[in-house]
Amino acid sequence: MPQPIVKAISRRQLLQWSGFSGASLLLSSCGLSAGSNQVGQAFEPLNQATQTVLFSQKPVPEYPVSAIEPAKLLINTFDQTPQIDPTKYRLQISGEVNQSLQLSLADLQTLPLTSMVIQHVCVEGWAAIVQWGGIRLQELLRLAQLKPSARYVYFQSADGYYESWDLASATHPQTLMAYQKNGQPLSVDNGAPLRLASPIKLGYKQSKWVTQIVLTQHLMPTKGYWVDQGYEWFAGL
């Protein structure tokens, strides 16, 4: 697999070096004990403090377009692929914001386009270098005018999938709401009309078919479809 243009300390390495790794911070995605959720809640303040260090780093190094691996991005679905009329699609942004939004795909496409070639890493053990194009999530949240109380971001998808992120990850400059893949319109199987794409999270955090973004002050008991079944919540790379 091609190597990044520039090597950087991974977020997982930094967590390990900080002394907060293991069960206290990055809970394993397999074989969690019955008490692991309580452990995660107890160490949430440490998670938040460490994230401040994590996201003071420079952006993750990207790849040249020549490194794209179109055949390696596998199609994983939570349920049946939803059928969404792109002309009727609306992205809703609500919660701890001063300006709730409902944006059509056409509205989204009028905003500045950001393109990046990054590695998509799946918890199942495979990876693919992909070019994603879309809007920085931080730009959408800026338009919604976040309240100071906003700390977490929930994503609801058209197929019923749900996921939550910390605000620092959501506002990272390489976290996109993508509507393009490899320079072409995003396919339905890959999450069209709109999906999350970012080099700082494992694949199961990168929701497809996103229809709602909700800002919250507290992390709710339902954190994410796979997270609620024992997968790691932060899931950083």
Q: What is the CA radius of gyration of the chain?
A: 17
* 77 contacts: CB under 8 Å, gap ≥ 6: 159, 189
Evaluate if residue 229 carries a pLDDT over 70.
Answer: yes
Q: Which CATH superfamily is domain 62-229 in?
A: Oxidoreductase, molybdopterin-binding domain (3.90.420.10)
What digits encode the pLDDT tens for the residues 143-156?
999 999 999 999 99
- In this structure, how many other beta carbons lie within 10 angstroms of the beta carbon of residue 42? 11
Across residues 17-28, what is the average pLDDT? 33
**What is the mean pLDDT of the segment spanning 170-189?**
96
CA 95 to chain centre: 18
List, for residues 70-122, the tens digit of each pLDDT value.
999 998 777 789 999 999 999 999 999 999 999 999 999 999 999 999 999 99
Average pLDDT of span 10-34: 35
- pLDDT > 90: what percent of the chain? 71
Alpha-carbon distance of 135 to 86, in angstroms, equals: 17
Read off the tokens for 217.
């002050």
Residue 110 backbone zone (phi > 0: left; psi -120 to 50: alpha; other: beta): alpha
pLDDT at res. 98: 98
HSE, side-chain direction, 13 A CA sphere, residue 204: 18
Summarize the confidence of residues 3-8 as an average pLDDT.
34
Mean per-residue pLDDT, 203-223: 97
- Secondary structure of the chain as H, E, C letters: CCCCCCCCCCHHHHHHHHCCCHHHCCCCCCCCCCCHHHHHHHCHHHHHHHHHHHCCCCCCCCCCHHHCCCCCCCCCCCCCCCCCCCCCCEEEEEECECCCEEEEHHHHHCCCCEEEEEEEECCCCCEEEEEEEEEEHHHHHHHHCECCCCCEEEEEECCCCEEEEEHHHHCCCCCEEEEEECCEECCCCCCCCCEEECCCECHHHCCCCEEEEEEECCCCCCCECCHHHCCCCCCEC
- Nearest by Cα to 196 from 230, 222, 161: 161
The predicted pLDDT at position 32 comes to 31
C-beta neighbour count of 101 within 10 angstroms: 17
